[in-house]
Structure 1
């Protein structure tokens, strides 16, 4: 999408013109396949490295355009949010030292970006999902202000016509609503491209689908979002739900999500995917189209197929087919969108080596995977791997059941090694990168497992927000060493770094575990809740979770001291609650909260989003936080 001057398809006329060019592109591609227009000799690999930009507090820093403007480099580009950016690696032939050369290129580009970022007091991090990202960070204020991103957001919102509901259940559960598809900005990935011979595309695409689950299981790196422990690769759930244009309905009509694994094995041609995408998905974006594709073909000139590429860019298959032109020749490739960014560039290249080796190795080892596995099994495997990582019980060829870690170690790594050898990849590269995968799988320390182990260790000693910060700081520290994640040590409280706590937001330290009552509940119920939970404040909310009052222990004492025999005919909470309590919003800073406590002499601040109660801060908890922050600053 970034290569095209795209815009929202507003009028029916614009859509009709785009559809006309889209159909012409399909016919042109069909002719090109029949006439053998594709480069099948110099097969190449490529990659796109997404990454986050964070400040010295390890939180998102929306500075991408400032840094990119300074760099003015063709291999760097923007991403959806202001705190993400992307490196486009140089395509290189799939042989020799291609893996170590790409690794060196990524490291060099990250160092170049980092050197410019440091001048602004920010830095880079590789992660599937940034642990410290807050709901505040995914507001439309952080959308990169380019027309193609605005157009995509408008198009998705237009089709959806409703708020975005996020529901993910893991160890914890996340249920939230949001007003834009910028949820997708939580994710960063490492997309690997493999050029495919046109005649082999069907076979190779099906292999990519079959191996998606075990490859993902070995590479997971995004178990946390907003402090919640969710899937081992939460990124997949976020991506699907953030750009889902479907609405809930009372009827059972089938609609396809725009982020999809697919619905069936490929049978005859890449055209099947493109045609299905035209049938199933409405046009979101348009662009200036003047190319006469058939005339170009008649003149022996390779067409751009712009309409086809723009439409393809708005459909997010986990294995995406791509049409491109290199050195004046057309080519087909598969873009693997499964892999997360990080934990280190060494891990990323190891992940790429595993996938590339399996693609090449299984082509010769088994050929047609559709005879060995039902498509629904491959699809189910992928969903399970995203949730459970290496602990997934996979169903493999011929219905063999095996844990993901054993499948990778016993069967897939040897096949990947064979495949890379067949591609004539340097033996040193093969041993180094597949060795990283082997160590990771043997130890069962994926990026996600390291994060969860760190969480389990730290949460016993400190708060969620500080746990997220220390984990993020540990990731940055280890990435600078370029150590594979299997060699990372767990962070501890001693790894706390100086943080500017004046920027800490209320939503980062408020309590979300709320004990509330409703206005008609009886006063003794409030008294018992306070006693049972050892708390001094209970919020009162209506049936729509809107804050309508607050009860304090002082009010209760006053009530009972003035009323005898109240248990015989207890009054409702609404008769004694504070009806308009002082509140604060989640985007406020710790300084704002401090000022409210001091100004009003209160002991509790309910946190509201609009009128809806979403959290609470008590003076005791606030003092504990400030004391801890002062100690951290002193240390």
Structure 2
């Protein structure tokens, strides 16, 4: 299909998936997603892995003109409607700080056959308990018999449709900036009462779904949550790696013969390829899909946590879409000057340190993320949004949120951390401080004021 030029080459179509947490009046996780979805009766809201999670899928659109502003209005309307209909609180946050190990058990997986089968296959492949050992400001060690701890990770995924002949450039650019993205957007500093990484979701997702027993790790078998190991020259490289390095987990077969469908002039669904791709958890995932009778390719950017607000989420999206577009179009691409190992190290540094992280950047050496963003990357994001035809007022409003976040050194993770520190200094226990912080967070995130301006 790549050789035949079969793909849609439309530029700038995008989509969002936003994962949400359900809480009760005491800020504890509410295991009620089936009931909440029944109350909402809205196809834009879907189930997620844990019974305290749901997902909101925004309607795809171009970001040209006022597309990003239209996203904001639609998301605010959908969330407002959901809050009015639901008797559980909805919170956009990378991880619920009030979750405990007792919440993250097999019984609290959503009532969905696919999730149960996925758990059985991954646990069977592992052959032993899943172990967590996260070293951060504090340390967390725990074990689980299931993949349920993964449900603590609530994220946002940005989808960007790209022409197949440019897919490698957009994926490489996405990988190159992943560390900066996660640093600026970090919003997950607490798990099981411990302060860990600024974006602890990254470490938890990697460890909670690792199907490799120790002997396979020692042999160099790749983890299913994977940054990757090289720059690519075609989207084919990624699907080829999926088949080469990872065994299928879900044994579902389609009746379609894709070669015969293609020969008959049709568009194959490639169901097995897509299902398998969904169980290889790349931070930037290739997506094959069919819309309007034509196949297309997307980069699914998966590095960021949910929240803190819709305006913060849209600012993160504008920064990503604009910066990736500009880097992908540059004559001397960033990946020709940045080693893949350095990009991977930046990703780790950004997840651990958040907005205070230091990363390596060509021509700048070791540099603070906030300084790099303000001095070099925001102008590139500005130029990239211009290439997409984003209305200047929309562009400037959203990118100014990123600028102020970096100027003040405050994102969701730093706000949460400082709020808990202040509460503890007033004599509250860690558990009490986390509950008080989450209740305040839940109140403030409904205002749609960007997190850098939230009071402590």
Q: TM-score scaled by structure 2? A: 0.98
* Match runs of 1:116-155 below 5 Å: 116-118=85-87, 122-155=88-121
Which one of the candidate residues 166, 172, 188 is aligned to 1:206? 172
Matching of residue 76 in structure 1 with residue 45 in structure 2: yes
Measured after TM superposition, the shift of residue 162 of structure 1 is 0.8
Which one of the candidate residues 226, 249, 252 is aligned to 1:284? 249
Q: Cα deviations across residues 520-546 of structure 1 (Å, max 9, x unaligned)?
A: xxxxxxxxxxxxxxxxxxxxxxxxxxx
Q: Distance between the aligned counterparts of 1:290 and 1:361, measured in 2?
A: 42
Q: Distance between the aligned counterparts of 1:398 and 1:282, measured in 2?
A: 40
Q: Cα deviations across residues 454-510 of structure 1 (Å, max 9, x unaligned)?
A: 1111112211111011110111111111110011011xxxxxxxxxxxxxxxxxxxx
Aligned to 2:137: 171
* Match runs of 1:58-97 below 5 Å: 58-97=27-66
* Match runs of 1:545-556 below 5 Å: none
Q: Distance between the aligned counterparts of 2:252 and 2:40, measured in 1?
A: 28
Which one of the candidate residues 37, 45, 51 is aligned to 2:14? 45
- Deviation >6 Å, runs of 4+: none
Q: Distance between the aligned counterparts of 1:384 and 1:232, measured in 2?
A: 10
Maintained 8 Å contact 1:203/1:367: no
Q: Indicate the structure (1 or 2) with the bigger Cα radius of gyration.
A: 1
Measured after TM superposition, the shift of residue 233 of structure 1 is 0.4
Aligned to 1:337: 302
Which one of the candidate residues 199, 224, 227 is aligned to 2:193? 227
Q: Distance between the aligned counterparts of 1:42 and 1:180, measured in 2?
A: 41
Measured after TM superposition, the shift of residue 43 of structure 1 is 3.3
Q: Distance between the aligned counterparts of 1:276 and 1:305, measured in 2?
A: 17
Q: Distance between the aligned counterparts of 1:365 and 1:444, measured in 2?
A: 29
Maintained 8 Å contact 2:23/2:90: yes
Which one of the candidate residues 177, 189, 205 is aligned to 2:155? 189
Select the structure with the greater relative contact order (CA < 8 A; seq sep ≥ 6): 2
Measured after TM superposition, the shift of residue 41 of structure 1 is 2.7
- SS of the residue 2:159 aligns to: strand
Measured after TM superposition, the shift of residue 220 of structure 1 is 0.4
Which one of the candidate residues 458, 466, 476 is aligned to 2:442? 476
Measured after TM superposition, the shift of residue 301 of structure 1 is 1.2
Aligned to 2:84: 115
Aligned to 1:264: 230
Matching of residue 420 in structure 1 with residue 389 in structure 2: no
Maintained 8 Å contact 1:131/1:468: yes
Aligned to 1:28: none
Which one of the candidate residues 186, 201, 212 is aligned to 1:246? 212
Q: Cα deviations across residues 336-381 of structure 1 (Å, max 9, x unaligned)?
A: 0001001111101100110000011112335533211111000111
Q: Distance between the aligned counterparts of 1:260 and 1:188, measured in 2?
A: 17
Q: Distance between the aligned counterparts of 1:301 and 1:489, measured in 2?
A: 57
Aligned to 1:304: 269
**Contiguous gaps of at least 5 residues in structure 1:** 1-31, 491-635
Count of matched residue pairs: 455
* Match runs of 1:472-551 below 5 Å: 472-490=438-456
Q: Cα deviations across residues 393-444 of structure 1 (Å, max 9, x unaligned)?
A: 2111246221111001100001000100111011111011101111111100
How well do the aligned residues superpose, as a CA RMSD in angstroms? 1.3
- SS of the residue 1:462 aligns to: coil
Q: TM-score scaled by structure 1? A: 0.70
Aligned to 1:597: none
Which one of the candidate residues 383, 387, 403 is aligned to 1:438? 403
Q: Cα deviations across residues 116-144 of structure 1 (Å, max 9, x unaligned)?
A: 212xxx21001000111111111111110
* Match runs of 1:5-24 below 5 Å: none
Measured after TM superposition, the shift of residue 392 of structure 1 is 1.7
Maintained 8 Å contact 1:222/1:234: yes
Which stretch of the first structure deviates more once superposed, 366-375 or 298-307?
366-375
* Match runs of 1:316-331 below 5 Å: 316-331=281-296
Q: Distance between the aligned counterparts of 2:116 and 2:274, measured in 1?
A: 19
Aligned to 1:608: none
